[in-house]
Chains A and B, each alone.
Chain A
Amino acid sequence: MEELCTGLCSVLTETGVELGLAYFLSLLAGVLLVSGVPLLTVIILIWIERKVAARIQDRIGPNRVGPVGLLQTIADMIKLLSKEDITPTAADRVLYNAAPLVSFASVVLLWAVVPFTPFHYGVDLEIGALYFVAIASFGTLAIMAAGWASNNKYALLGAFRVVALLVSYEVPLVFALLVPVMLAGSMSLVDIVNAQSGMWFVVLSPLAFVIFYISSQAETGRAPFDLIEAESELVAGFNIEYSGMKFGMFFAAEFLHVFTNGIIMAILFFGGWMGPLYYESPLVAFAWLGAKGGLIYFTTLWLRNTVPRLRIDQIMAFNWKFLVPLSIANLILISLALKVMQELGIAPRDMLSASFGDLLPATAILLVINGAMILYLLGIMRKRGREARRESRDARAGYPQAAGAARH
């Protein structure tokens, strides 16, 4: 155990603290430091979320409490504290109370593997990328437990729909995730970032990023996949019976999950902390990661507030008949092209030591392949769109009144 005792731990042992205790304390300090990042950001995230939504909808948003409404979240928290917490008599009390905790914890736990800078991270697990997917499955189970334990028909139906959506979109998510893992030859998130020193993976495989982006939008239950809310059909779905702080925890978890996904995408596809002068100071590296993650996060908010909600059959068809085949085809094509190039000696076998110049020919070929796939997809979508428009026009032609109404 002595060899594990470094840093804060060794400082503590020198001042006379017992070895085991010193080790535990240093571990605890590390955990609190890493978990502090998501816990502090979530307070700001709620304000950003509301402000951005308001601006997109041509409103002002929170502007009363504190400068530009920055303290609104604090006021909301105080309000939530004073709210009565109703547990329905019919509910399964243990699971009902555990569900919001698990939901929030499953998101906070993701931050254990997030590499903030080359040297500052919770842990660099060998299986980092798989850890990310595995931990997210706790969130799915929490939603199922919440819906079931509420003992309410809306809650159960909402939970079932959401869970079906979440597990379905996990398939393209993981197939897209396999591309950076394959390119870096490692599941460790630190290795994945380091492997992008020559070229960001978004350039090598833009389609994988788009698939990952769409599926993670669905994984967080955001529009156009916000079945999780479904106010108009299921009066809020799985969290209908929740009130007060427990209700707030589900929402805090969702807000944090969206931002976490932004950070994860920055790490997987946009080179994480990489950027000009990142080696000068850990703060610069951290700022780069925050800026990239924040930008992706902003686009998800933008998307959420712009597009309408899809029906569940459309969501499922889009996933299983479009996204899943596409993600598989993408994985096969990228891996095939790269393997052929590696055998011919055009592409490097080790991304870690490959420079920008080494990767240029491979990047060009991969980009052409991606471009061809995207053009092909656009062709399909155009054809489908025309068919759908013709069908709706024919349908309207059958109802003269509706057609007249549409013209006015």
Chain B
Amino acid sequence: MELNAISIGFVVFSIFTLGGGVGVVTTRNLFQGTIWLMVSLFGVAGYFVLLSAPFLAAVQILVYIGAIAILITFAVMLTRSVARIKERYIRILPSFIASLALFLILLLGVTIPIFGAHSPGSIPEYVASTRDLGAALVDENGYVVPFLLASVLLTAAMIGAIFIARDENA
């Protein structure tokens, strides 16, 4: 691999992503786990920057660090004394097999072109801007149906969440 700014960035963000992941599964403290998860997702945001998709990087930070982290913390504090898990659940073998199987599936999915052939050479030179993204989202020949379905999904998510949370409390 050629040593340049991009490869250095890739290594740094990989350390963030993988290190954060290791942190999540090793800590027994749920809040620290949340922070580790955010470190990991921050690394993913870095990948987006390296791929010239800064909009997605900002979205990654805005949604995960800005909202999901807060939501997880609120959820943790909703439950009684889960913040510090005292018992140890050591099931190394089953979890090892499960994660290995998942990794193999992901590896196969990436390397074997099930969803059409793709090679590094097929990446277009032109990088779409946020404006192109916005225009495509509401174009009748583009993604307007998924765009509106996303809105319906979000509405349904919010109504469902409120319904469940209120009923428990009532």
The answer to whether A95 and B35 have CB atoms under 8 Å apart is yes
Q: In the complex, A41→B73 CA distance in Å?
A: 35
Give the shortest distance, in Å, between B117 (CB) and chain A (any CB): 31
- CB-contact partner of A127 in B65, B73, B130, under 8 A: B130
- Residues from chain B with Cβ under 8 Å of A144 in the complex: 69-70, 73
Give the shortest distance, in Å, between A231 (CB) and chain B (any CB): 24
Stretch at the interface among B55-63, B97-105, B108-116, B148-156: B55-63
Chain B interface residue count, Cβ-Cβ cutoff 8 angstroms: 24
Whether, in the assembled complex, A329 has its beta carbon less than 8 Å from a beta carbon of chain B, the answer is no
The answer to whether A133 and B62 have CB atoms under 8 Å apart is yes
- Residues from chain A with Cβ under 8 Å of B38 in the complex: 141
The answer to whether B58 and A140 have CB atoms under 8 Å apart is no
The answer to whether A134 and B58 have CB atoms under 8 Å apart is yes
Contact flags (1/0) for B30-59 with A, using CB distance below 8 Å? 011001001000000000000000110011
The answer to whether A163 and B70 have CB atoms under 8 Å apart is yes
Task: State whether A127 and B58 are in contact (beta carbons under 8 Å apart), knowing that A141-B65, A148-B31, A187-B130 are contacts in the complex.
Answer: yes
- CB-contact partner of A126 in B5, B54, B62, B74, under 8 A: B54
Task: State whether A134 and B54 are in contact (beta carbons under 8 Å apart), knowing that A1-B4, A141-B38, A144-B73 are contacts in the complex.
Answer: no
Whether, in the assembled complex, A358 has its beta carbon less than 8 Å from a beta carbon of chain B, the answer is no
Whether, in the assembled complex, A251 has its beta carbon less than 8 Å from a beta carbon of chain B, the answer is no
Which residues of A (151-185) have their CB < 8 Å from a CB of B? 160, 163, 167, 170, 185
The answer to whether A130 and B129 have CB atoms under 8 Å apart is no
Whether, in the assembled complex, A137 has its beta carbon less than 8 Å from a beta carbon of chain B, the answer is yes
Q: In the complex, A92→B59 CA distance in Å?
A: 30
The answer to whether B73 and A148 have CB atoms under 8 Å apart is yes
Whether, in the assembled complex, A192 has its beta carbon less than 8 Å from a beta carbon of chain B, the answer is no
State the B residues within 8 Å of A (CB).
4-5, 29, 31-32, 35, 38, 54-55, 58-59, 61-62, 65-67, 69-70, 73-74, 77, 129-131
State the A residues within 8 Å of B (CB).
1, 92, 95, 125-127, 130-131, 133-138, 140-141, 144-145, 148, 160, 163, 167, 170, 185-187
Q: List 9 A-B contacts (CB under 8 A).
A: A126-B129, A127-B58, A133-B62, A136-B66, A140-B66, A140-B70, A141-B66, A160-B77, A187-B130
